[in-house]
Structure 1
Amino acid sequence: MEHAVKYITPDIKLSCFESKLFKTEVMFDNHMLVWFISGGTRIVQAEATYEFSAGDIFLIPRNQLATIITYPKDGLPHKAVVMHLTTARLKNFYSDIELKPRIAAIPKIRTFNDHPLLRSCLASLVPYFELKDHFPENIASLKIIEAISILRAIDGGIDDFLADFDEPGKIDIVGFMEKNFMFNMPMEKFGYLTGRSLTTFKRDFKKAFNTTPQKWLTQKRLELAHYQFSEKKKKPVDVYFEVGFENLSHFSYAFKKHFGYAPTELMEHKIR
């Protein structure tokens, strides 16, 4: 078994990766509260890169692009309990709560280390994954409400974050793409996050960059890889994932086609 996901409800799951490394590029529709049981993960976003390991608890914001790389650590597989905090459930939770005027929250990953209250809440879910019987929805709802209540008790700014139900509006396409080009997302996702339909996104992209999105994205990713090799002295195996390529051989082929020499030649200082 390399990858297994076991759900006790649509919003609560146990995720396990036993392979050496698993990479995915995502934009989550819901906030996700994660408790790491074992293994490790690296989450790469436009503004920062995060490293998490056993015991860490963190909240991933919705509608944010990220590259997630998971791997075994200390001889143990990557294993985590994940709770989806859906917009519908959060709207219901906040429906009878009077809030102060909301301050626009910066959508960054929020970390809670190994907070005992959150750990107790999430760890209490583990036995339910072994049950053969259906997990009662009322218990699941109580667990999610408990988690939200704990987050509000330990993070004074969490309401600005969780009670923000706005959808992405139309934003500057140049600034957004320059910041997020390394994420290998469908064009529809890029369009949604810039507040555009797919047709409008392609039209506005052509007007702004005078080329197609795919050509521009490939060039930008290869240029970033070149910088990582020449200036940061990173290896191809450590770079191709993070710049938006799915496999090393395709990356190496595209790199040589674009620059005229292979990544290994650059790393061996044969190129001046």
Structure 2
Amino acid sequence: MEYQAKYITENIKLSCYEDKFFKSDIMFEDHMLIWFISGETKIVQAEGTYMFNKGDIFLIPRNQLATIINYPKDGLPHKTVVMHLTTEWLRDFYERIKVKPKAAGAQKIRHFNNHPLLESCLSSLIPYFDMKDLPENIAHLKITEAVSILRSIDPEIDDMLANFEEPGKINLADYMEKNFMFHMPLEKFGYLTGRSLTTFKRDFKKTFDTTPQKWLTQKRLELAHYQFVEKKKKPIDVCYEVGFENLSHFSFAFKKHFGYAPTELLAAER
């Protein structure tokens, strides 16, 4: 994978992927504001799939599971400006402007398509990535500008950005049924359901009467079967969207579970 990244600070970067695609399963620890320069991204979350292209600007909330698939497009690399809005920075910002954290609102991706103020703010960062001697405090000023613009164009943004609660203990069955397709360490699933790893495994056994690994594999393969039969999707797309890391492992597991390969199933459905 040909990947390059330039940084103004660790929280503001210019990201570039040259390869055919790059896939990752992520839990976002920070809110992320992203501006697309070129390429295409597919983001698969529990509530749906999002596609983003050149010119798009979107905000991804923290503590969310997602499968990210980045593609070059039109002969250009996948290239984005990414701004991390950390809890530490946001806590200080909201304390200074005397805005109290509110109850958690809907934690969904927010899309600000071709918004002139945000695009001007984020595009103005480009020259700084090639500078050795940066103006003092420029990163802080630019993040402040971006958050101020977000607050002016989205009256509900404070419900997301000013909420600093960590995940509490929630219903394990409901959460896992919605998020099994994300290839995450069990520690992450535990954290997001408000449990230690030991408690997560214990509660999982009580809830599903099996181990997390066996249950996750079965659920992912069942979803893959549905995607083939009902959605007529290609194996390469289904493999990554249901939580497998490579196509050969997915095909082997699929055939072992169902008795036939994905290609055989698709051929029979024609």
Partner of 2:234 in structure 1? 235
Q: How does 1:14-93 map to 2 (within 5 A)?
A: 14-93=14-93
Q: 1:136 to 1:190 in 2, by over 3 A?
A: farther
Is 1:132 aligned to 2:132, yes or no?
A: yes
* C-alpha contact 2:229 2:269 (8 A) present in aligned 1: no
CA displacement, residues 146-200 of structure 1 (integer Å, 9 cap, x when unaligned): 0000000111111111001000000000000000000000000000000000010
Q: How does 1:1-272 map to 2 (within 5 A)?
A: 2-99=2-99, 102-133=102-133, 135-136=134-135, 138-269=137-268
Report which stretch shifted further, 165-174 or 232-241: 232-241
Q: C-alpha separation between the residues in 2 aligned to 1:142 and 1:188? A: 35
How far the C-alpha of 1:100 sits from its partner, in A, is 7.0
User: TM-score, normalised on structure 1?
Assistant: 0.96
Q: C-alpha separation between the residues in 2 aligned to 1:65 and 1:194? A: 12
Q: 1:92 to 1:206 in 2, by over 3 A?
A: same
Q: 1:209 to 1:8 in 2, by over 3 A?
A: same
Percent of residue pairs identical = 74
Tell me the SS of whatever aligns to 2:80.
strand
Letter in 2 for 1:216: W
Equivalences, count? 270
* C-alpha contact 1:9 1:137 (8 A) present in aligned 2: no
Tell me the SS of whatever aligns to 1:164.
coil
How far the C-alpha of 1:131 sits from its partner, in A, is 1.4
Q: C-alpha separation between the residues in 2 aligned to 1:234 and 1:158? A: 36
Letter in 2 for 1:24: S
Report which stretch shifted further, 179-188 or 96-105: 96-105
Tell me the SS of whatever aligns to 1:241.
helix
How far the C-alpha of 1:96 sits from its partner, in A, is 2.9
Q: 1:262 to 1:105 in 2, by over 3 A?
A: same
CA displacement, residues 101-150 of structure 1 (integer Å, 9 cap, x when unaligned): 834311100000010100011011111111133x3451110000000000
Q: 1:42 to 1:270 in 2, by over 3 A?
A: closer
Q: C-alpha separation between the residues in 1 aligned to 2:252 and 2:92? A: 51
Q: 1:34 to 1:192 in 2, by over 3 A?
A: same
Tell me the SS of whatever aligns to 1:269.
helix
Tell me the SS of whatever aligns to 1:70.
strand
User: TM-score, normalised on structure 2?
Assistant: 0.97
Q: C-alpha separation between the residues in 2 aligned to 1:123 and 1:242? A: 31
How far the C-alpha of 1:5 sits from its partner, in A, is 1.6
CA displacement, residues 45-96 of structure 1 (integer Å, 9 cap, x when unaligned): 0001110001000000000000000001111100000000000110111003
Report which stretch shifted further, 93-102 or 136-145: 93-102
Tell me the SS of whatever aligns to 1:132.
coil
Q: 1:199 to 1:38 in 2, by over 3 A?
A: same
Letter in 2 for 1:19: D
The CA RMSD over aligned residues, in Å, is 1.4
Tell me the SS of whatever aligns to 2:47.
coil
Gaps of 5+ in 1: none
Q: C-alpha separation between the residues in 2 aligned to 1:248 and 1:21? A: 14
Letter in 2 for 1:138: N
